[in-house]
């Protein structure tokens, strides 16, 4: 579809305005931004330097105390206004997200749902999360102990290209509500979604310098943001995540990292095959497989393997792979040439070593430069790149198993541990299996949305899939410093009162300790 047919908010002039709003000290090198559907450069963004990032962080640091001084209720009201604006401006947000990422509109709409859900949740819970908390004191009645939470300062968010709406702002919202300022460095492939969201936050009442977007390459702008921030939130590949963690650690800067995945789906013999196949379609091919929590490994019990595989292949062949800025297509484009090269390389390597393609397996340049068919493989073995490396495309390997113990072992046989799924009609059995899978989230009878959309519960990775958590109380408190304030109302905790011999004091303390062991209220 021609760029000229897009709504005005996504046309060249509108994108140019957004690009020119990125603050730089002087004219910078321009980075072209490509539309994956066509391969055409739609606009350029400035390649912010480390000096530009430092200036943005300094502005944020100056603005942060005034933002933190506002009542939590005022900050929450701004985020709730942002919630409404996201819904009101959804068409423009969807157009821009599709334009720069190449995803199907239904996948972009999932981001709208996620942003609104996260905004609503944290806006309504921020006051609770920041309420001073009474803890048990050193001695009952005599010691009053409370925990206060303070903002860390400036939070740096480095977001990837695969979910440019969700990952540019949903990690920032709890940080803002906690009283921090935020500087976001979006992927250079998808900067305009972040810039649009910045404008909506400002319209909602967040001060300009309290939420900023800097554009540029990760090697310079991203590294500078890690260096300057008081907390770093990074979503991306494991290799880059290690570098971020190393740089942050050298500065004793705390960070959270959601990294790669090679996610398994386990289908037990009592599963509803139709529902499991639908779950596999969603879990494998949403966003053309460019989803950190997508499945690349399917393990199906041998008693239902043939029927499951037959249905999966038929459903996969029926998917609508095509470009389009309206609802309708099921699967969109890959993001660019590097991603297409990785997907093609993994499939070709698997085929050369004996794997079978049951459907798909080809690039589709007739649809656009980076389209690749949804692909189902069998016969994948450990010596193939596809077996262990993250493909991050619409490709899945299917294998049978004969016992639940084998399925769990297969699911855990990976360096990654981000997301998994278990399919069974027995909820107790499903939970038992889920608890044995080494992943930060496990869904029962759902691909990924059940756990992801449960924003009151933490989400993140085990093993090489990351550190820290987003969502829930954990995803809020990581942006705060905990401070304990203890008031001793009488006497001293560790020293005898004046005039009392040390020996008498020691005996009295021993009696008190033995008594407190038997009192449930002071344990």
What gap in Å lies between CA 499 and CA 490, rounded to an integer? 15
Same domain, 252 and 277: no
pLDDT of residue 123: 98
23 and 56 Cβ atoms separated by less than 8 Å: yes
14 and 345 Cβ atoms separated by less than 8 Å: no
Residue 255 sits at φ, ψ, to 5 deg, of -150, 160
Q: List the structure tokens of 364.
A: 């589709």
Domain boundary among 259, 288, 304: 259
- Would residue 403 count as lying in a domain? yes
Residue range 373-400: average pLDDT?
A: 98
pLDDT at position 494 over 90: no
Domain boundary among 439, 464, 489: 464
Domain boundary among 259, 293, 317: 259
Could you tell me the CATH number of the domain that includes residue 248? Answer: 3.40.605.10
Residues of the domain holding 270: 263-464
Domain count across the chain: 2
pLDDT at position 5 over 70: no
- Would residue 6 count as lying in a domain? no
- Would residue 310 count as lying in a domain? yes
SS3 358: strand
Q: List the structure tokens of 396.
A: 């899945």
What gap in Å lies between CA 473 and CA 470, rounded to an integer? 9
- Would residue 391 count as lying in a domain? yes
pLDDT of residue 346: 98
106 and 327 Cβ atoms separated by less than 8 Å: yes
Same domain, 275 and 152: no
Residue 4: pLDDT band with limits 50, 70, 90: very low
Dihedral (CA of 311, 315, 317, 318) sign? positive
Same domain, 251 and 291: no
- Would residue 372 count as lying in a domain? yes
pLDDT of residue 152: 98
pLDDT of residue 243: 97
pLDDT of residue 140: 78
- Would residue 74 count as lying in a domain? yes
Same domain, 287 and 408: yes
- Would residue 412 count as lying in a domain? yes
pLDDT of residue 490: 76
Percent of the chain's residues with pLDDT above 90: 87
SS3 302: coil
pLDDT at position 102 over 70: yes
343 and 285 Cβ atoms separated by less than 8 Å: no
Same domain, 202 and 301: no
Lowest-confidence region among 17-26, 100-109, 389-398, 413-422:
17-26
- Would residue 442 count as lying in a domain? yes
What gap in Å lies between CA 217 and CA 192, rounded to an integer? 15
Same domain, 55 and 129: yes
Encode burial over 284-298: b for 16+ CB neighbours within 10 A, e otherwise. bbbbbbbbbbbbbbb
Residue 325 sits at φ, ψ, to 5 deg, of -95, 15
Residue range 499-511: average pLDDT?
A: 86
178 Cα distance to chain centroid: 19
Same domain, 245 and 358: no
* Residues 6+ positions from 332 with CB-CB distance below 8 Å: 36, 37, 98, 101, 102, 103, 104, 107, 287, 288, 321, 323, 371
Residue 523: pLDDT band with limits 50, 70, 90: low
Lowest-confidence region among 128-142, 177-191, 291-305:
128-142
Residue given tokens 């050369």 in the structure block: 352
pLDDT of residue 495: 79
Same domain, 252 and 117: yes
DSSP 208: G
pLDDT at position 2 over 60: no
Same domain, 282 and 205: no
pLDDT of residue 139: 77
Residue 20 CB neighbours (<10 A): 11
pLDDT of residue 288: 98
Could you tell me the CATH number of the domain that includes residue 380? Answer: 3.40.309.10
Lowest-confidence region among 1-5, 215-219, 220-224, 316-320:
1-5
314 and 280 Cβ atoms separated by less than 8 Å: no
pLDDT at position 474 over 50: yes
pLDDT at position 166 over 60: yes
194 and 159 Cβ atoms separated by less than 8 Å: yes
Lowest-confidence region among 13-22, 30-39, 102-111, 353-362:
13-22
DSSP 4: G
What gap in Å lies between CA 263 and CA 443, rounded to an integer? 12
Same domain, 405 and 453: yes
Per the prediction, the chain carries an average pLDDT of 95
Residue 522: pLDDT band with limits 50, 70, 90: low
What gap in Å lies between CA 439 and CA 464, rounded to an integer? 10
What gap in Å lies between CA 256 and CA 53, rounded to an integer? 20
Active site residues: 258, 292
Same domain, 144 and 216: yes
- Beta-bridge partners for 418: none
Same domain, 281 and 175: no
């Amino acid at each position: 579809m021609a760029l000229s047919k897009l709504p005005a908010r996504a046309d060249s002039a509108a994108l140019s305005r957004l690009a020119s709003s990125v603050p730089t000290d002087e004219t910078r090198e321009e980075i072209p931004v490509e539309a994956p559907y066509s391969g055409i450069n739609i606009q350029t963004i400035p390649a912010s330097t480390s000096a530009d990032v430092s200036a943005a962080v300094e502005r944020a640091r100056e603005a942060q105390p005034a933002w933190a001084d506002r009542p939590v209720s005022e900050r929450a009201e701004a985020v709730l206004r942002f919630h409404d604006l996201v819904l009101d401006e959804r068409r423009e947000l969807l157009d821009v997200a599709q334009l720069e990422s190449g995803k199907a509109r239904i996948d972009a709409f999932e981001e709208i749902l996620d942003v609104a859900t996260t905004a609503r949740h944290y806006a309504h819970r921020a006051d609770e999360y920041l309420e001073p908390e009474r803890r048990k004191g050193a001695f009952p009645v005599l010691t009053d102990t409370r925990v206060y939470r303070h903002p860390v300062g400036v939070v740096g968010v480095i977001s990837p290209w695969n979910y440019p709406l969700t990952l540019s702002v949903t990690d920032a919202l709890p940080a803002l509500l906690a009283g921090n300022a935020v500087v976001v460095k979006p992927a250079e492939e998808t900067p305009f979604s972040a810039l649009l969201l910045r404008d909506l936050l400002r319209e909602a009442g967040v001060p300009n310098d309290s939420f900023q977007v800097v554009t540029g390459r990760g090697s310079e702008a991203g590294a500078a943001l890690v260096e300057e921030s008081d907390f770093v939130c990074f979503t991306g590949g494991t290799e880059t995540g290690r570098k971020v963690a190393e740089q942050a650690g050298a500065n004793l800067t705390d960070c959270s990292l959601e990294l790669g995945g090679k996610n398994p789906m386990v289908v037990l013999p009592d599963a509803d095959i139709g529902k499991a196949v639908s779950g596999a379609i969603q879990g494998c091919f949403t966003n053309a497989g460019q989803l950190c929590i997508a499945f690349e490994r399917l393990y199906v019990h041998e008693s239902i393997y043939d029927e499951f595989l037959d249905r999966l292949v038929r459903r996969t062949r029926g998917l609508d792979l095509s470009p389009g800025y309206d609802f309708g297509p099921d699967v969109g484009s890959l993001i660019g040439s590097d991603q297409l090269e990785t997907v093609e390389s993994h499939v070709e390597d698997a085929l050369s070593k004996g794997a079978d393609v049951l459907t798909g397996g080809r690039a589709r340049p007739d649809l656009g430069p980076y389209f690749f068919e949804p692909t189902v493989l069998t016969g994948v073995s450990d010596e193939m790149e596809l077996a262990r490396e993250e493909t991050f495309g619409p490709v899945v390997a299917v294998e049978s198993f004969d016992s639940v113990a084998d399925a769990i072992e297969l699911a855990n046989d990976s360096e990654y541990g981000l997301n998994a799924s278990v399919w069974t009609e027995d909820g107790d059995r499903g939970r038992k299996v889920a608890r044995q899978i080494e992943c930060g989230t496990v869904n029962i009878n759902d691909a990924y949305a059940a756990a992801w959309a449960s924003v009151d519960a933490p989400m993140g990775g085990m093993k090489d899939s990351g550190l820290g958590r987003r969502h829930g109380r954990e995803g809020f408190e990581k942006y705060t410093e905990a401070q304990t304030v203890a008031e001793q109302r009488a006497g001293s905790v560790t020293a005898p009162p004046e005039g009392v011999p040390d020996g008498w004091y020691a005996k009295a303390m021993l009696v008190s300790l033995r008594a407190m062991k038997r009192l449930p209220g002071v344990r």
